[in-house]
């Protein structure tokens, strides 16, 4: 942690602690969650891992209020009902609509209260949906973004990174991706921060709120120090900044959402 940075409490929101229908996927996500928590601790901050599928709206708002920053982790596809997409599409599987609903509420509430936010993989897609965007439901070249077998992570090098974000987004690195969906139409206020060479949006930032999201997995144990570390430091810098005037606008926009 940088000398002038105060320790933060970071809420790490994932979906669930058990998946009887898919224990292998649960193990994969548990490892990613644990790696994220380890890197947060290494940066001098306090992680709080929270499964959201049974939380109420009031509980998730209290959680955000008690946190200095929020991270939305990966998991199942976002339920198409939240972006008016068809229910039947290639690669569709289990959806978690209650967790989607609660995490969307957490995203909107964090943005409205000026709480720094980071979305990872599904977390980026959910941020986009929370702001009215849509998703590509199944990439035509999915093999370039997700592998089969025991190691689902494909190596991806971004072809474009916004110059101001090059350090935060580890622009010179190979990134580990595992996804078959991606952002289609951008949500309100989001700007493209990185793209892969095949045109898939790999990172976004909000034009006024303290929100950043990446499609790859910086929290993977092989990359967490080099890639998640800078993103956590970005959250810390944002937390240290005074709340800007957009908070009142966002509060009005998301009131009752």
For residue range 13-64, list pLDDT tens digits in order.
999 999 999 999 999 999 999 999 999 999 999 999 999 999 999 999 999 9
pLDDT over 70 at 148, yes or no? yes
Tokens at residue 181, please?
A: 């969906």
pLDDT score of 257: 47
Q: List phi, psi (to 5°) of 69.
A: -160, 160
pLDDT score of 62: 98
Dist. CA 236–CA 110, nearest whole Å: 15
Domain-located, residue 2: no
Domain-located, residue 106: yes
CB 237 within 8 A of CB 3: no
Q: How confident is the model at residue 2 (pLDDT cuts 50, 70, 90)?
A: low
CB 37 within 8 A of CB 82: no
Output b/e per residue, 143-159; b: 16+ Cβ within 10 A. Answer: ebbbbeeeebbbebebe
Domain-located, residue 3: no
pLDDT score of 256: 46
Least confident residue range of 36-40, 132-136, 182-186, 247-251? 247-251
Which residues are the active-site residues?
121, 217, 219
Higher pLDDT, 160 or 251: 160
**Per-residue pLDDT averaged across 243-249, rounded?**
56
- Residue 4's H or E segment, with its range, is none
How many domains is the chain partitioned into structurally?
1
Domain-located, residue 85: yes
For residue range 165-190, list pLDDT tens digits in order.
999 999 999 999 999 999 999 999 99
For residue range 91-119, list pLDDT tens digits in order.
998 999 999 999 999 999 999 999 999 99
Domain-located, residue 130: yes
Report strand pairing: 211-214 vs 201-206.
antiparallel
CB 155 within 8 A of CB 176: yes
Q: Which domain holds residue 189?
A: 9-254
CATH number for the domain that contains residue 45? 3.40.50.880
Dist. CA 131–CA 243, nearest whole Å: 20
Helices 97-112 and 122-130: crossing angle in degrees, nearest 10, is 70
Q: In sequence order, what E strands does the chain have?
A: 9-14, 46-51, 69-72, 117-120, 135-136, 154-156, 158-161, 175-177, 182-183, 190-196, 201-206, 211-214
For residue range 189-221, list pLDDT tens digits in order.
999 999 999 999 999 999 999 999 999 999 999
**Per-residue pLDDT averaged across 122-129, rounded?**
98
pLDDT score of 244: 61
Domain-located, residue 92: yes
Average pLDDT of every residue of the chain: 93
Dist. CA 245–CA 251, nearest whole Å: 11
Dist. CA 92–CA 87, nearest whole Å: 8
pLDDT score of 253: 56
Residue 213 φ/ψ region, left for φ over 0, alpha for ψ in the -120 to 50 degree band, beta for the rest: beta
Tokens at residue 114, please?
A: 């000026």
Domain-located, residue 4: no
């Amino acid at each position: 942690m940088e000398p002038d940075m105060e320790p933060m409490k970071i809420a790490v929101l994932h979906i669930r602690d058990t998946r009887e229908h898919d224990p292998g996927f649960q193990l994969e996500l548990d490892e990613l969650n644990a790696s994220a928590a380890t890197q947060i601790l290494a940066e001098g901050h306090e992680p709080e891992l929270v499964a959201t599928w049974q939380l109420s709206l009031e509980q998730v708002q209290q959680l955000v209020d008690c946190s200095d920053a929020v991270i939305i982790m990966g998991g199942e596809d976002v339920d198409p009902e939240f972006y008016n997409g068809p229910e039947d599409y290639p690669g569709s599987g289990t959806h978690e609509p209650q967790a989607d609903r609660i995490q969307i509420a957490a995203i909107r509430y964090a943005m409205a209260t000026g709480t720094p936010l980071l979305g990872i993989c599904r977390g980026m897609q959910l941020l986009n949906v929370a702001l009215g965007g849509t998703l590509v439901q199944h990439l035509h070249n999915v093999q370039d973004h997700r592998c089969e077998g025991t190691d689902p992570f494909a190596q991806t090098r971004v072809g474009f990174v916004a110059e101001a974000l090059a350090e935060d987004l580890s622009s010179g690195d190979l990134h580990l991706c595992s996804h078959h969906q991606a952002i289609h139409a951008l949500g309100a206020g989001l700007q493209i921060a990185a793209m892969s060479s095949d045109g898939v949006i790999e990172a976004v930032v909000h034009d006024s709120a303290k929100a950043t999201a990446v499609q790859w997995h910086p929290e993977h144990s092989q990359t967490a120090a080099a890639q998640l570390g800078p993103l956590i430091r970005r959250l810390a810098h944002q937390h240290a900044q005074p709340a800007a005037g957009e908070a009142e606008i966002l509060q009005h926009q998301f009131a009752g959402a």
